[in-house]
Amino acid sequence: MPLPRQVIEAKNSRKSELPLSSAEQGGDFVFVSGMAAIDPVTGEEARGTVAAETRQILAHMGKLLEEVGSSLANVVKVNVLIYSMLEYENMNSARLWPFTLDSKRGRSGGSARRVAF
């Protein structure tokens, strides 16, 4: 029996021109689409360090999850693509801020330098 699916569009974000949903809910799970360091309200690209960009993405993801009655506390796994693996430690230190030490998450990571989207 297939799981009921629901497309989720962020209420407090600018609409993307891409044929993507902000997230999709399947049963009790919410799958969030990839995000860039873009302010969800203004649509402006966030500038700064990789750590600051990572915090922007996670804050946006947290707000999206809250809109559907969830939170970053329920995240099971995060997939991360960064331009340069030299920035890995900066991304990783910022990635940990919403997650408590007693509940580490699964993660896949790699360089997006030559990845086509």
| First CA to last CA distance, the chain | 32
> Quick check: 102 pLDDT over 80?
no
The pLDDT tens digits for 3-17 are: 788 888 777 666 667
Helices (H), the chain: 50-67, 88-95
43: pLDDT strictly greater than 70: yes
pLDDT recorded at residue 106: 67
Q: Tokens 């609409």 identify what position? A: 15
What pLDDT score does 97 carry? Answer: 61
Q: Could you tell me the pLDDT band of residue 82, with boundaries at 50, 70 and 90?
A: confident
Say what percent of the chain tops pLDDT 70.
77
Q: Can you list the domains of the chain with their CATH numbers?
A: 5-111 (3.30.1330.40)
The answer, as to whether pTM is greater than 0.85, is no
For residues 81-109, average pLDDT: 70
Distances (CA, A) of 79 to 12, 28, 85: 23, 20, 14
